Amino acid sequence: MKAVWKGHLKCGLVLIPIKMYHAISQKSIHFNLLHKDCLGKVKLEKVCSKCGKRLSPEEIVKGYPYGKDRYIIVTDEDIEKAKRESTDFIEIIQFVDDSEIHPIYYSNSHYLAPDGEAGFEAFALFHQAMIETKKAALAKIVMRNREYLLALKPYNGTMIAFTLYYHQEIKNLKEIEDIEKIKKIQIDQKALNMAKILIDNLSGNFEPEKYRDEYTETLMAIIKAKAEGEEIKVSPKVEKEKVISLMDALQRSIEEVAEVPKKRMAVAGKKTKAKRVRKKA
């Protein structure tokens, strides 16, 4: 895996040479827009919505809206003044309890690993210390002239650097209509008990490898088949009967979940019986 950044992890006076790697590999499918008749690529021209004129890059400026149809023109020189000078280190500014950082703050993630033998001992030291103290490190880095807030967490011999949203970027819950009504609803105890049973029956360990992007996999299979002159038929999903009553929905859900282990046991029984038959043969 190729490193996307090299520098130092700075904690007080301690400098640890590190490399940064992408932790996520995007698997989404991208398309080109084509002219249906000749399959030429479609160019997206920039046209003024007010006068309809096609614009060249020199005729386009950046505007910050501050009212209806009112803008402040921001020049490249203005943007340059706000840029930060990129640095070659990630500076730890504070350690916090790992559980204090709410998942809503997490954005992108990268792996951090020591860069060369010189950084192994210090990296391993902080890695273990953070595990034993159950702490995450808040840090800052300036990349591409912008300052980012990070949360560093030890993970299987590496550290994961999570890019965090700033608090000002998180929308206030008060913007969601009727949110306070949810807190005032009187919960029916019988329904609550049934919901708990359903949750308990559907509970298990988090095994991410079990879950797959079925949309992307199916679409790629269709694309590959078309490239080979074939066609894949995808059966439409059968919609389940809609249940109006909440209690009915809970009851039927509990019954359906309870049936799953029975079906698995039946399948397992058939496989065991088949093996026995083969052995006898």
pLDDT at 175: 82
Euclidean distance between CA atoms 150 and 159, whole angstroms: 11
Q: What is the pLDDT of residue 84?
A: 75
From first to last of its 281 residues, the chain has per-residue pLDDT tens of 889 999 999 998 889 999 999 998 877 788 888 989 998 999 888 999 889 899 988 999 999 998 888 999 998 888 888 877 777 889 999 999 999 999 999 999 999 999 988 889 999 999 999 999 999 999 999 988 889 999 999 999 999 999 999 999 998 888 888 888 888 889 999 999 999 999 998 888 989 888 888 888 888 888 888 888 877 777 776 666 665 688 888 888 888 888 765 555 454 555 555 555 455 55
List the chain domain ranges: 5-26+83-169
**% helix, strand, coil for the chain, step of 5:** 40, 25, 35
The predicted pLDDT at position 169 comes to 93
CATH no. for 5-26+83-169: 2.40.290.10
pTM value? Answer: 0.71
What residue type is assigned to position 37 of the chain? Answer: D
The pLDDT value recorded for residue 277 is: 47
Residue 229 token pair: 């002159």
Rounded Cα gap, residues 152 and 127, in angstroms: 10
Q: How far apart are CA 162 and CA 101, in angstroms?
A: 11
